[in-house]
Structure 1
Amino acid sequence: MRVTVDQDKCCGAGNCVLLAPEVFDQREDDAIVVLLDERPAERLHAAVREASDVCPAGAIRLSETS
């Protein structure tokens, strides 16, 4: 799995950080998403998929190809 984020779309809701803190963080000044790991371990895939699904801005993109 490969993860990308669109910081311009991010609204700072923080759902991604709550669901997958090993993969996502937020900037302190404006809460915009920061991608910590673009190729997360397989054990994190379910949480990353959920984070992508619940992102209100659609700022998280997933690719299943390596």
Structure 2
Amino acid sequence: MYDLFLQNFNEKAPLSAPDTEVIKTYLTPKKLRKKQYLLQEGDVCKYIAFVTKGALRSYTVEENGT
């Protein structure tokens, strides 16, 4: 489950095997259904998301509603 993330990470900053194991302890896979929100207005983001399959759409809403 973590292979794609770790492969991408290792391309940017190679990790030793022990470091890889430590990072795995912080990873939690999460699957979203179509049209399900990862984060909504007012939510506090407490994590970083890495998409391994599919796509996400991101948008912002200004204070005036646009």
TM-score, scaled relative to structure 1: 0.28
Larger radius of gyration: 2
| Structure 1 or 2: more strand by fraction | 1
